[in-house]
Structure 1
Amino acid sequence: MKKKILFVVSSADVIGPKHRRTGNLLTEVAHPYEAFKKQGYDIDIYSVKGGEAPIDMVELDDPTNIAFLNDDGAQKFKNTQSIESVTVDGYDAVFVPGGLAPVVDMPENQTVQKILSSMYDKGGVVSAVCHGPVALINVKLKDGSYLVDGKSVTGFSIAEEENYAKEDVPFELETALKSRGAKYSRVDPWQAYSIQDGRLVTGQNPASASGVAEKVIGILEA
């Protein structure tokens, strides 16, 4: 049977006191999407509110981004279903891309938490990249423990946020992950870095999106 991947994406298009425009970062969507599609996986995209999910930083010098925009993935982004209708049964993995958008509507979202905890508890793969791991901060498993507690994870670093969106975000992702007991690690700003701890895969920044997808594929094909 084909493997099935669930993308959970943000519906937010502004963030912070200055109302900075944002969305789901195209690179962090397109590269994993194309990797999963090349592997022959089925991919469904659900957003927090449903409808058209916002995309940020449309970099057209990247052939993978261009391919995605000309592919069925872009159409799926225009017509997402709400996460309120998601059941994780039948999916093998969930992926949360970054961009600043998920910082707005995911950390406190109980439906997002339920999707991620249910996927992990049933033996599936949970993955996220860049700011996407904000979705993991408050996720608790059926035993009451935080999903990230004691696990090796990464995500957008304080050093990276300093020169990117420090004034726009309400908290530092690196600090929040550590506060939940995560074994957070990072590399130099903007360098590719993705890590796997069992069935949990995280990436630090946009350059890490492909690495996250490759690790998810590695788990599913093992």
Structure 2
Amino acid sequence: MNEVRTLRSIVEEGLDNYAGVFVPGGQAPVVDLMQDPDMGEVLRHFHERSKPTAFLCHGPIAVAAAMPHAREFRAALIAGVPAKAAEWAKDWQYAGYRMTVFSNSEEKVVEDYILHAKLYFNVVDALQTAGGKVITTATDFEPHVVEDRELITGQNPRSDRALAGKFVAALERSLAMA
């Protein structure tokens, strides 16, 4: 942790040196990463090369950063104008991908009993507005992982082991083809 690097420094170093990307959950993907231009550059690079990308819990919302207008997309979501958000998401690289993310009902539990605060928007709704095919479990906090092409998503923290297994397998396949 003493040699923390910025995404910009990694982009400048060259992304071809990396086999995959992993984004954990928490609030950072919802607040910062989903609108970070460097994250967008990383995701576009990996998407274009079909390199494995894995996201856990709230992490999948970070794929919004790949949009050319990610900041505007997020602002429209916060303003409560999903039609405008959908316009900003036009031609999104991950439209049509199957994915999962922390469900709306899981979010409500965390908002009501842990954070005692609400997010500006639901991540499920945001990804669906952008064109993602979001699949969540009927049972809250049950492990659930969805893999579609290079994108591997885990719904909640309990999905960590299954996600790690699929991510490692995808990295091994990708490296074997290199």
What does residue 16 of structure 2 align with?
A: 89
CA–CA distance in structure 1, aligned partners of residues 35 and 143 of structure 2: 28
RMSD of aligned C-alpha atoms? 1.7
* Equivalent of 2:136 in 186, 189, 193: 186
Map residues 1-40 of structure 1 onto 2, 5 A cutoff.
none
2-side partners of 1:100 and 1:165: how far apart? 12
CA contact (8 A) 1:158 1:172 kept: yes
Amino acid at match of 1:183: K
- Counting strand residues as a fraction of each chain, which structure ranks higher? 1
CA contact (8 A) 1:113 1:140 kept: yes
Unaligned runs of 5+ in 2: 69-89, 174-178
Question: Which residue in 2 is equivalent to 1:176?
Answer: 126
Identical aligned residues as a percent: 30
Q: TM-score, normalised by structure 2?
A: 0.75
Contact 1:148–1:177 under 8 Å retained in 2: no
Q: By how many angstroms is 1:216 displaced?
A: 1.3
Q: Give the match's secondary structure for 2:25.
A: coil
Aligned residues: 144
How far apart are the structure 2 equivalents of 1:138 and 1:81?
19
Task: Structure 1: give runs of 5+ residues left out of the alignment.
Answer: 1-76
Return structure 1 stretches of 4+ with deviation > 3 angstroms: none
Contact 1:113 1:139 in 2 (8 A): yes
Amino acid corresponding to residue 129 of structure 1 in structure 2: L
- Greater CA drift, 196-205 or 129-138: 129-138
**116, 122, 125: which one pairs with 2:49?**
122
* Aligned pairs (5 A) from 1:55-204: 77-86=1-10, 87-140=14-67, 145-165=91-111, 167-187=117-137, 188-204=139-155
The CA distance in 2 between the partners of 1:118 and 1:217, in whole Å, is: 19
Change (3 A) 1:82 1:192: same
The structure-2 alpha-carbon separation of the partners of 1:101 and 1:153, relative to structure 1 and needing over 3 Å to count, comes to same
> Contact 2:43–2:65 at 8 Å: present in 1 too?
no
1:165 Cα deviation from its structure 2 partner? 2.6
